[in-house]
């Protein structure tokens, strides 16, 4: 296990009706905020009205900016930055899922920067300041409610890029599992896949003697595997939603990567897919991760056998480690299909005409490698994408 320091400052407020506390949580930070959200769902289900009432009760002024899309767009972020600067807003409240939260974080960075916020996502600049952010989570998936990350899509060139900074930890995040009751089945499946991907990115590591976090990751994966089918059978199963929502937060709040180095190659590859084709992030991960596993599993068969046996209860073939590992990969694919995901790019309507382009963009013309478990060059990324077809 490697040496580490761990500090996650995000205050989690979990349970029924906790969104009614949002005004009191914001009050110590600001009296004039940006209220950021996606489409019309929060207005149809009454959440918007409850949030507005809670803000007014505390005398907090707000300016609205809706319209966040999946794979949140740089153009809307720039609009939010301009609003914050012009109106002197000093806090960003995100009401929605990971896309809304990522967009809010980007706005928070840009509001205190004189240049273009995209500079942070290209690595041209390192974040030095950001407005405080709070969240009300409506979709368990991205884990952005308690993470350092934000991912934004620039339509100019179809680039999807991340930035990470401790400045992006939300000050608080309100998690009410009942807010997810109205999610459609496809969104539930995409969210569950995203959570599993965050766990698997951390699980496949070259660092040895990490049994404790191995066991925590395995337990979190098994919790998702057990509860997501319950939710698909009964969208208002509060207890199952509570398990999945909390698992999604823990999966990506940096606790489970302490002392180890995760991979993240599958995420980088998926960013090229959703950057070009605008598929849901979870949908892209559902096809990339099994393909990545098939390509790299021989690098550490023991870890893939452990994954198969401990997470998917595959019966171990003591004479053939590779067969056990491959059964684990098949078990993952079967679960993803069971929850409504496609596990091939062709199932998403994506053919092989732009595979070379995605491999080239992801590796910056083969000048960098993706991932840590097995560093991937342009040829490797292309072969993984071919496996995913």
For 153-164, the pLDDT digits (tens) are 999 999 999 999
Q: Are 202 and 258 contacting, i.e. CB atoms less than 8 angstroms apart?
A: no
Q: For residue 156, how many other CB atoms are within 10 A of its CB?
A: 9
pLDDT for 120: 98
The more confident residue out of 7 and 39 is 7
Are 90 and 157 contained in the same domain? yes
**Number of separate domains in the chain:** 2
203 and 86 in a common domain: no
pTM over 0.95, yes/no: yes
Taking each helix axis as running N to C, give the angle between helix 265-277 and helix 378-388, from 0 to 180 degrees, rounded to the nearest 10.
Answer: 70
89 found inside a domain: yes
Q: Which CATH number characterizes residue 201's domain? A: 1.20.1090.10
Angle between helices 281-296 and 185-203 (to 10 degrees): 40
Q: Are residues 356 and 321 located together in one domain of the fold?
A: yes
Non-local CB neighbours of 69 within 8 Å, separated by 6+ positions: 38, 76, 99
Q: How far is CA 196 from CA 154, 244, 257, in A?
A: 26, 11, 14
Residue 146 predicted with pLDDT over 90: yes
Q: What is the largest CA-CA distance in the chain?
A: 69
Q: Please classify residue 377 by burial: count the beta carbons closer than 10 Å to its beta carbon, then call 0-12 exposed, 13-18 middle and 19+ buried.
A: middle
219 & 366 share domain: yes
Mean pLDDT of the chain: 97
The Cα–Cα gap between 70 and 278 comes to 8
- CATH number (domain holding residue 69): 3.40.50.1970
> For 356-368, how does the pLDDT look when each residue is reduced to its tens digit (9 = 90+)?
999 999 999 999 9
pLDDT tens-digit map of 201-242: 999 999 999 999 999 999 999 999 999 999 999 999 999 999
Residues 253 and 346 in one domain: yes
Q: Does pLDDT of 110 surpass 90?
A: yes
Question: What confidence score (pLDDT) does residue 40 get?
Answer: 83
Of 160, 179, 198, which residue sits at a domain end? 179
Domain boundary among 179, 196, 217: 179
Domain co-membership, 51 together with 64: yes
Grade residue 84 by pLDDT with cuts at 50, 70 and 90: very high
**Confidence tier at 39 by pLDDT (50, 70, 90):** confident
From the list 227, 240, 340, the residue with the least C-alpha distance to 286 is 340
Enclosing domain of residue 319:
183-388
Question: How far apart are the C-alpha atoms of 117 and 74, rounded to whole Å?
Answer: 9
Q: Do both 157 and 199 map to the same domain?
A: no
Query: If you average pLDDT over residues 11-31, what whole number do you get?
Result: 98
Among 179, 203, 234, the domain boundary falls at 179
Pair 251, 198: CB distance under 8 Å = yes
User: 267 with 294, same domain?
Assistant: yes
Give the tens place of pLDDT for each residue, 302-326.
999 999 999 999 999 999 999 999 9
């Amino acid at each position: 296990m490697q040496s580490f320091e761990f500090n996650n400052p995000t205050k989690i407020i979990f349970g029924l009706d906790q969104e009614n506390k949002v005004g009191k949580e914001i009050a110590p930070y600001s009296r004039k905020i940006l209220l950021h959200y996606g489409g019309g769902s929060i207005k149809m289900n009454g959440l918007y009205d409850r949030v507005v009432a809670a803000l007014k009760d505390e005398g907090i002024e707000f300016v609205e900016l809706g319209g966040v899309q999946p794979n949140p767009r740089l153009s809307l972020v720039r609009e939010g930055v301009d609003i914050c600067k012009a109106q002197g807003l000093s806090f960003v409240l995100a009401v929605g899922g990971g896309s809304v939260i990522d967009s809010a974080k980007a706005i928070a960075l840009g509001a205190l920067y004189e240049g273009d916020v995209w500079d942070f996502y290209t690595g041209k600049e390192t974040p030095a300041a950001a407005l405080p952010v709070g969240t009300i989570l409506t979709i368990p998936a991205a884990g952005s409610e308690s993470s350092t990350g934000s991912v934004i899509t620039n339509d100019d060139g179809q680039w999807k890029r991340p930035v990470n900074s401790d400045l992006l930890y939300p000050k608080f995040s309100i998690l009410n599992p009942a807010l997810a009751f109205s999610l459609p089945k496809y969104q539930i499946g995409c969210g569950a896949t995203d959570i599993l991907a965050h766990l698997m990115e951390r699980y496949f590591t070259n660092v040895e003697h990490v049994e404790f976090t191995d066991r925590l990751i395995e337990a979190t994966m098994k919790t998702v595997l057990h509860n997501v089918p319950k939710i698909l059978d009964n969208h208002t199963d509060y207890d199952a939603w509570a398990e999945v929502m909390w698992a999604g937060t823990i999966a990506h709040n940096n606790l489970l990567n302490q002392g180890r180095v995760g991979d993240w190659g599958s995420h980088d590859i998926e960013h090229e897919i959703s950057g070009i084709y605008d598929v849901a992030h979870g949908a892209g991960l559902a096809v990339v991760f099994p393909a990545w596993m098939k390509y790299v599993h021989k690098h550490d068969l023991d870890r893939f056998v452990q994954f198969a046996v401990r997470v998917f209860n595959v019966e171990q073939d003591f004479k053939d480690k590779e067969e056990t590992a491959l059964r684990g990969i098949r078990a993952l694919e079967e679960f993803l299909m069971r929850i409504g995901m496609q596990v091939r790019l062709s199932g998403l309507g994506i053919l092989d005409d732009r595979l070379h382009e995605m491999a080239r963009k992801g590796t910056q013309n083969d000048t960098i490698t993706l991932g840590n478990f097995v560093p991937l060059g342009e040829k490797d990324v292309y072969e993984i994408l071919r496996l995913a077809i």
